[in-house]
Amino acid sequence: MGARIGVLALQGDISEHIEAFKKAVRAFGSEDSVSVIPVRRPDEVLLLDALAIPGGESTTISRLIEKNNLYTPLVEFEGGIFATCAGMVVMARGVDDPRVHPLGLMDYKVIRNAFGRQRESFEADISITGLDHPFHAVFIRAPVAVHPGNGIKVLGTIPEGIIALEQDRFMALSFHPELGRDPRLHIRFLKNCGLL
């Protein structure tokens, strides 16, 4: 059996992440050995090599993680996790909103909606460590990370704060790479996990 990438399918940009990972896998001609599937149940998490926690609404995603008995399976998951926007909030050690019960898998704190409401959403070309040219990023009610701890590699910042981090098999981004046509961050994550 080949590698399995799951996309946490509780709320948010689920189909966009599935397509983005499929595109990344196709770029390496690995579509026959890597599958990308939606995941909703604890037993499905156990079968994965990597998992995406997509953007959406972080309080809703956090509540649904608890409701679907996914909290412990996610905390104990041994594969890689690719977290975007709301996913970045859920991955943090601490959050500025008590309604979110973070997984605490990466050592940073996060400020939700750091840029304001939906109308303050924007796009920008940003520098990411390890990429040879800027990445076009879509920020939608985006968070920023603050106070990164030991073992965290900061990949990108803008004046408002940290927008991209890496720690071993984890990657957390405050923006939505799945909404563009650039697969480089999905590819980087899969390479870090040894899946490409």
Q: Which residues contact 177 (CB under 8 A, 6 or more apart)?
A: 20, 84, 135, 137, 185, 186
Among 166, 178, 186, 193, the active-site one is 178
Element (H, E) at 189: helix 184-192
Run of H or E including 91: helix 86-91
Tens digit of each residue's pLDDT, the chain (196 residues): 589 999 999 998 899 999 999 999 998 877 788 899 999 999 999 999 999 999 889 999 999 999 999 999 999 999 999 999 999 999 999 999 999 999 999 999 999 877 766 666 889 999 999 999 999 999 988 999 999 998 999 999 999 899 999 999 999 999 999 998 899 999 999 999 998 8
- Whether 16 sits among the annotated catalytic residues: the reply is no
Q: How many residues does the chain have?
A: 196
68 vs 162: CA distance, rounded Å: 30
Q: How many contiguous H segments (helices) and E segments (strands) does the chain have?
A: 6, 12
Residue type, 16: E
Taking each helix axis from N to C end, the angle separating 184-192 and 14-27, rounded to the nearest 10 degrees, works out to: 70
d(CA 83, CA 88): 5
User: Is residue 85 among the annotated active site residues?
Assistant: yes
Catalytic choice (16, 44, 176, 193): 176
Residue 193 annotated among the catalytic residues of the structure: no
Nearest C-alpha neighbor of 8 from the set 43, 57, 51, 47? 51
Task: Name all domains of the chain by residue range, CATH numbers in brackets.
Answer: 3-192 (3.40.50.880)
Q: Which of 16, 44, 85, 193 is catalytic?
A: 85
Neighbours of 23 (CB within 10 A): 17
Cα–Cα distance between 97 and 78 in angstroms, integer? 27
The pTM assigned to this predicted structure is 0.94
